[in-house]
């Protein structure tokens, strides 16, 4: 089973993502940027779902650190953000994310489809 | 009043104008922020009810599924309204910039109809487009995304306010000396004039209509809504010819 790390500070959102993905992936969670980065280095997940607005260290800083660290620099990272605006997508890709998902995430199938298409790359 | 007094008055007016502008911007920013805050809990309501609706363990009965469906669809509705509210606030402070290009209006209308087909089918409605011009292409310089959004808002609005299904929405494209004219009208509802007047009064406060009016203003077009017997109103969009510099 592929390993996914979810870095999200809102417990309800984390619960929802867990409910969506628990049957298909091995999940681990972190609630802030610092612990998220630590967990990524320790557990080397296949993919990381990374919230943008996080306490301690925000998503943009976390992805920068991931890309710098040779152990996990190739890990797939998906940005999760509520403030979706036109033009944001390119900004996130430029910052080092592999994909971008605007919250709210309502649909289990959409999320799994995106993850699967990234894992196949 | 002396010249000096007049100058002071002008200064005063200028200042209060700036203050008003600033407080209007603050109000819009506030609405955008609060709407985002309200959307976060909705995420759980919609997401978890969607999940339960799948009834994976097959232990939810039909009645419970119906209630869940209600939670889910109303949550989505609320979320859409918040999106509209955010959009409206952004338009009000002019945060939305226009990207003008030469577009084919006829193609745009056909594409929009196609885009909305599933919604139209859901309401068991019928949508027709009659091009009364002598041409198959009508090029006009405007913001393609915005004008399409405008159409989606108007048609969705008509669909939502339709009381009974099996209605008919007709779109027609004509012209006069000054304008290209696109009219949207629906048929299939029996309501009297008084009811209709009240309905249109209520519509003025409708988000979709507010946004539509804001977009038309931004695009320098004119939108007119008239009460017509047995309909949800005749929506007419005027595309001024002189403004088309393309």
Cα–Cα separations (whole angstroms), residue A89 to A82, A98, B95, B136: 12, 10, 18, 36
Give the model's pLDDT for residue A88.
Answer: 65
CB-based contact (8 Å) between A80 and chain B? no
End-to-end CA distance of chain A: 17
| b/e B154-189 (16+ beta carbons within 10 angstroms → b) | bbebbbebbeeeebebebebebeeebbbbbbbbebb
Q: Is the pLDDT reported for residue B246 higher than 50?
A: no
For chain B, the average pLDDT equals 81
How close does chain B come to A13, measured CA to CA in Å?
7
Give the model's pLDDT for residue B187.
Answer: 72
Give the model's pLDDT for residue B49.
Answer: 93
Global model pTM greater than 0.80: no
Q: What DSSP assignment string belongs to B172-187?
A: EEEE-SSEEEEEEEEE
Give the model's pLDDT for residue A86.
Answer: 46
A54-101: pLDDT as tens digits: 888 889 999 999 999 999 999 999 998 865 554 566 778 888 999 988
Determine the residue of chain B that is closest to A18 in CA distance: B48
Is A16 close to B44, i.e. CB distance below 8 A?
A: yes
Q: Which of B172, B156, B179 is nearest to B109 (CA)?
A: B172
pLDDT category at B203 given cuts 50, 70, 90 is: low
Token pair for B160:
């939502």
Whether B177 and B134 have beta carbons less than 8 Å apart is answered as no
Q: Is the pLDDT reported for residue B192 higher than 60?
A: no
The contacts found for B54-62 with CB under 8 angstroms, 24 or more apart, are B54/A108
Is A10 close to B40, i.e. CB distance below 8 A?
A: yes
B127-185: pLDDT as tens digits: 889 999 888 889 999 888 888 888 887 887 777 665 545 678 889 999 998 999 999 88
Higher pLDDT, B99 or B45: B45
B227-238: pLDDT as tens digits: 776 666 788 999
CB-based contact (8 Å) between A18 and chain B? no
Quick one: average pLDDT of B60-86? 88
Q: Which of B195, B182, B206, B181 is nearest to B228 (CA)?
A: B195
Q: What does the alpha-carbon distance between residue B210 and residue B208 come to, in Å, rounded to a whole number?
A: 6
CB-based contact (8 Å) between A24 and chain B? no
Give the model's pLDDT for residue B194.
Answer: 65
Calculate the dihedral angle through the C-alpha atoms of B172, B173, B176, B178, rounding to the nearest 10 degrees.
Answer: 120
Give the model's pLDDT for residue B161.
Answer: 64
Chain A residues whose CB is inside 8 A of the B76 CB are 106
B212-231: pLDDT as tens digits: 887 888 888 888 887 776 66
Longest dimension (CA), chain A: 35
Q: Is the pLDDT reported for residue B87 higher than 90?
A: no
Is B47 close to A20, i.e. CB distance below 8 A?
A: yes
Is B43 close to A108, i.e. CB distance below 8 A?
A: no
Determine the 3-state secondary structure of B193 from DSSP: helix
Give the model's pLDDT for residue B78.
Answer: 87
A11-56: pLDDT as tens digits: 988 999 999 999 999 999 999 999 999 999 999 999 999 998 888 8
> What is the complex's ipTM, to 2 decimals?
0.76
Give the model's pLDDT for residue B20.
Answer: 86
Quick one: average pLDDT of B29-33? 81
């Amino acid at each position: 089973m592929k390993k996914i790390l979810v870095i999200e500070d809102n417990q309800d959102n984390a619960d929802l993502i867990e409910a969506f993905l628990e049957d298909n992936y091995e999940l681990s969670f972190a609630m802030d940027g610092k612990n998220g980065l630590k967990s990524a280095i320790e557990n080397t997940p296949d993919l990381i779902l990374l919230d943008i607005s996080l306490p301690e260290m925000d998503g943009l800083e976390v992805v920068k650190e991931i890309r710098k660290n040779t152990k996990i620099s190739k890990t797939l990272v998906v940005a999760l953000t509520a403030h979706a605006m036109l033009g944001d997508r390119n900004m996130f890709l430029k910052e080092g994310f592999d994909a971008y998902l605007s919250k709210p995430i309502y649909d289990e199938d959409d999320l799994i489809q995106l993850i699967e298409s990234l894992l196949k790359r | 009043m002396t010249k000096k007094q007049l100058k002071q008055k002008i200064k005063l007016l200028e200042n209060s104008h700036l203050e008003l502008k600033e407080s209007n911007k603050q109000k819009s920013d506030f609405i955008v922020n609060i709407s985002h805050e309200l959307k976060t809990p909705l995420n759980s309501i919609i997401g978890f009810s969607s999940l339960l609706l799948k009834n994976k363990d097959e232990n939810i009965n039909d009645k419970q599924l119906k209630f869940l469906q209600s939670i889910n669809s109303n949550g989505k509705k609320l979320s859409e309204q918040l999106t509209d509210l955010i959009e409206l606030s952004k338009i009000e402070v002019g945060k939305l910039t226009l990207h003008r290009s030469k577009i084919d209006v006829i193609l745009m209308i056909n594409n929009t109809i196609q885009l909305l087909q599933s919604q139209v089918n859901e309401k068991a409605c019928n949508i027709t487009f009659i091009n009364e011009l002598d041409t198959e292409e009508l090029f006009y310089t405007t913001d393609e995304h915005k004008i399409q959004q405008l159409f989606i808002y108007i048609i969705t609005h008509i669909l939502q306010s339709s009381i009974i299904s099996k209605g008919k929405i007709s779109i027609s494209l004509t012209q006069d000396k000054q304008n290209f004219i696109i009219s949207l009208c629906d048929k299939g509802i029996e309501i009297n004039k008084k009811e209709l007047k009240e309905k249109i009064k209520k519509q003025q406060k409708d988000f979709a209509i507010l946004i539509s009016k804001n977009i038309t203003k931004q695009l320098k077009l004119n939108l007119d809504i008239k009460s017509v017997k047995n309909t949800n109103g005749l929506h007419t969009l005027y595309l001024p010819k002189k403004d088309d510099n393309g």
